[in-house]
Amino acid sequence: MPNTVTGTRTGEASPDAVPRRRWWSGWPDWSACLAVVWSALYGAAALYWALGGDGYPFERVHEDRSSGSILEPSRAEAVAPVLALFCALGVVAGVLMLKNLGTGRVRKALLAYGWAAGIALTLLIPDYSLLGLLAFSPALIVFVFTGVPGPQDLGDIMYWHRGNLMIVFVGGLLWVAATLAYQRRTNGQCVYCGRAPHAPGRWTDAARLRTWGRRAVWLAVLSTLPYDITRIAWYFGWPLGITDEFLKEMQDTPSMLELGLALGVVSTLGSLLTHGLIARWGEVWPRWVWWRKGRTIHPATAVVPAGFVAVVLIPGGLMAVRGFELTSWGETGPAILWAVWGVALGAATYLYYLRRRAVCRSCGQG
C-alpha cells in the first residue's frame, strides 16, 4: 500500500532514507565534549589535592594498597599543581577542537597536546591493573555475589589508587578519540572512516593487508611464549628464571602456582584467538558457534575487544620494564614483552579493520 508521505509502499525504505547511526558510531561528535568534561573534573580534583585536600591518589601508602604507576609515590604539593595545569590546558584545547579552530602552529600545538595527553594517560601513567582485572573478570563477577574467598573483600581488590588509574585510563581514551577526530576534520578526511576524498588507495589492497596482518599476528603470538613457558615450568617445579627460594615460597603459598598456571593458559588462549584476525573463522562464524554458524561476523565484534586488550597490554609491559632484575628475569622479563604483544596486536587489529570496513555511511567511500 503506497505511503502518502514518502511515496513508497508500506514496509519499504525510502531511497533517500539515511540509515540511523548507532550512538557509539558518533564518537567523533561526543568524544571531545567528554574529554573537556573529564579534564575539568579531574583538574578540579587535582586543584583540591594541591590545596591540601585528602585522597591524593599517588601518595605513598601501604604496599597492599599501592599501584605501579610512574607517579607513585609522589607528593601532592609537587605533582597535583602540574596535573591541575595540565587539565586546564586540556579544557582550552578541547574547546578549540570542538569548534574546529586552529590553523598552522595553533593546530600543531592542539594536536601535540591531544596526542601527548592520550598517550600519557592511556599508556604511561597506568600500570597492569586493567590487564589483571580483565584476566580475572569472570572470577570478579562471581565474587560480587559470593564474596572474595578468605579474609579479603572487594575493597582489597578495587582500592582508590587502582580505581584512580582506571579513571586516568578512560581520560586517555577520550583524548585519543577527540584528537583523532580533530585531526581528520582539519585534514579534510571523513571524520568517521578516515578516508580522504580521491586519495590513492595504498592500504585498500586486501592481499597486502592480509600479508602484513599475518606478520603482526605471528609477532603477537611469539611475544606471549616466554610468559606462558615460565609459568607452566614453575607449576611443574622447574625454577625457570627465578631462584629456588622464590619457587619454594610460591609452593608454600596456597593457590599461587595454580594462579600462575591459569594466567599462562589465559595468555595462550588469547594468542590463539589472535589468529582470528587473519583466519576465515574471524570473518564468518565457525561451526562450533552453532547458534551463529555461517553468518558474517561484524568487524566490531573482533576490533573492539582486540583493540582494548592491545591497549591495556602496553602499560603492563612498560611497568615490567621498571621492575626488571636480571637475577630473577623470569618474574618480570617475560611481561616486558606484553608491550610488544600490545603493539603487534594493535597493528593486526587495525589491518583487520582496514580489510573489512564497509562503505562509509557518511562519505559513501569504500
User: What confidence tens digit (pLDDT) does each residue in 352-363 have?
Assistant: 999 988 887 777
pLDDT (mean) for 151-161:
75
Q: Determine the Cα–Cα distance for residues 148 and 139; give it in Å rounded to an integer.
A: 9
Residue linked to cell 619454594: 248
Q: Determine the Cα–Cα distance for residues 349 and 330; give it in Å rounded to an integer.
A: 29
Q: What is the pLDDT of residues 247-258, one digit of tens each?
A: 999 888 888 888
DSSP state of 25: G
Q: What angle do CA 187, 188, 190 make, to 5 degrees?
A: 110
Higher-confidence residue of 307 and 154: namely 307
Grid cell digits, residue 210 = 592480509
Q: Determine the Cα–Cα distance for residues 325 and 339; give it in Å rounded to an integer.
A: 17
Q: Where on the phi/psi map is residue 255: left (φ > 0), alpha (ψ -120 to 50), or beta? A: left
Grid cell digits, residue 345 = 596486536
Q: Identify the band that residue 101 occupies on the pLDDT scale cut at 50, 70 and 90.
A: confident
pLDDT (mean) for 223-240:
93
Q: Identify the band that residue 7 occupies on the pLDDT scale cut at 50, 70 and 90.
A: very low
pLDDT of residue 70: 94
Q: Determine the Cα–Cα distance for residues 343 and 184; give it in Å rounded to an integer.
A: 22
Half-sphere exposure of 355 (CA within 13 A, CB side): 23
Q: Check whether 14 has a pLDDT greater than 60.
A: no
Q: Determine the Cα–Cα distance for residues 336 and 255; give it in Å rounded to an integer.
A: 24
Closest CA to 35 of 242, 238, 176: 176
pLDDT (mean) for 108-124:
97
Q: What is the DSSP string of 48-112?
A: HHHTT-S--TTS---GGG----TT-S--HHHHHHHHHHHHHHHHHHHHHHHTT---THHHHHHHH
Q: What is the pLDDT of residues 36-77, one digit of tens each?
A: 999 999 999 999 999 999 999 999 988 878 888 999 999 999
Q: Check whether 193 has a pLDDT greater than 90.
A: no
Q: What is the DSSP string of 115-163?
A: HHHHHIIIIIS--SHHHHHHHTHHHHHHHHHH--STT--GGGTS-HHHH
Q: Identify the band that residue 199 occupies on the pLDDT scale cut at 50, 70 and 90.
A: low
Grid cell digits, residue 47 = 586543584
pLDDT of residue 352: 94
Q: Check whether 19 has a pLDDT greater than 50.
A: no
pLDDT of residue 288: 86
pLDDT of residue 23: 61
pLDDT (mean) for 218-245:
93
Half-sphere exposure of 29 (CA within 13 A, CB side): 7
Higher-confidence residue of 352 and 146: namely 352
Q: Check whether 8 has a pLDDT greater than 90.
A: no
- Mean of pLDDT over the chain: 86
pLDDT of residue 202: 57
pLDDT (mean) for 133-143:
78
Q: Determine the Cα–Cα distance for residues 172 and 361; give it in Å rounded to an integer.
A: 27
Q: In this structure, are residues 123 and 187 in contact, taking their beta carbons and an 8 Å threshold?
A: no
* Maximum Cα–Cα distance across the chain: 83
Residue 283 burial class via C-beta count within 10 angstroms: exposed 0-12, middle 13-18, buried 19 and up = middle
Q: What percent of the chain has pLDDT over 70?
A: 89
Q: Check whether 316 has a pLDDT greater than 60.
A: yes
Instruction: Count the helix, strand and coil residues of the chain and give each as a percent rounded to the nearest 5.
Output: 65, 0, 35
Q: Identify the band that residue 188 occupies on the pLDDT scale cut at 50, 70 and 90.
A: confident
Residue 124 burial class via C-beta count within 10 angstroms: exposed 0-12, middle 13-18, buried 19 and up = middle
Grid cell digits, residue 150 = 578468605
pLDDT of residue 253: 86
Q: Determine the Cα–Cα distance for residues 64 and 62; give it in Å rounded to an integer.
A: 5
pLDDT of residue 201: 54
